[in-house]
Amino acid sequence: MNDARTSRLRPAGETCGSAQRTPQRLDLPTMSFDLGHEQEQLRLEESYRAGDRNARTLVKEAGLRVVLTVMRSGARLEEHKTSGPISIQTLTGHLRLRTLEETVELPVGHIVMLLGDVAHDVEAVEESAFLLTIASG
């Protein structure tokens, strides 16, 4: 795969990297993460220091994606939806998820699952980190 930014060939399953991150493999047979360390790294990056959130895809496989996201208090992911089911698990802080039908509070240790095509938004009630798991067919 050709990465237009760096004009180098990139193997399938590898991110292109950036000024903030080195290229990473996302499709190894076994992957392990120190989520505390990953959160710290996300908070140190310019995207977070200059903005209200930052995220890193940890796993990207056929049918499965796992994304770690950190958000400042008051930050929002505006209404959106995915085609497949998702889960959101709060690692630190407190999140609030809204759908057209309900509001779900997600303090530390809580998880919510949504079916595909359910419009929702996410707000950080306080500085938070969460794991987003996206499944697809």
Q: Give a yes or no: residue 28 inside a domain.
A: no
- Burial-class residue 118 by CB neighbours within 10 Å (0-12, 13-18, 19+): middle
> Between 10 and 47, where is the model more confident?
47
Q: Give a yes or no: residue 20 inside a domain.
A: no
Q: Give a yes or no: residue 114 inside a domain.
A: yes
Question: Which pTM value belongs to this model?
Answer: 0.82
Instruction: Give the pLDDT score at 16.
Output: 58
Q: Give a yes or no: residue 118 inside a domain.
A: yes
Instruction: Give the pLDDT score at 29.
Output: 87
Write the DSSP assignment of 58-119 as a string of letters.
EEEETTEEEEEEEE-TT-EEEEE--SS-EEEEEEEEEEEEEESS-EEEEETT-EEEE-TT--
Among 5-9, 30-34, 61-65, 92-96, where is mean pLDDT lowest?
5-9
Q: Give a yes or no: residue 35 inside a domain.
A: no
**Confidence category of residue 27, pLDDT binned at 50, 70, 90:** confident
Total number of domains constituting the chain: 1
Average per-residue pLDDT for the chain: 88
Which CATH number does the domain housing residue 132 bear? 2.60.120.10
Distance CA 18, CA 5 (A): 9
- Express each pLDDT in 55-105 by its tens digit: 999 999 889 999 999 999 999 999 999 999 999 999 999 999 999 999 999
Mean pLDDT throughout 9-29? 63
Q: Give a yes or no: residue 135 inside a domain.
A: yes
- Express each pLDDT in 101-112 by its tens digit: 999 999 999 999
Q: Which domain does 92 fall in, by range?
A: 52-137
Q: Give a yes or no: residue 98 inside a domain.
A: yes
**Confidence category of residue 5, pLDDT binned at 50, 70, 90:** very low
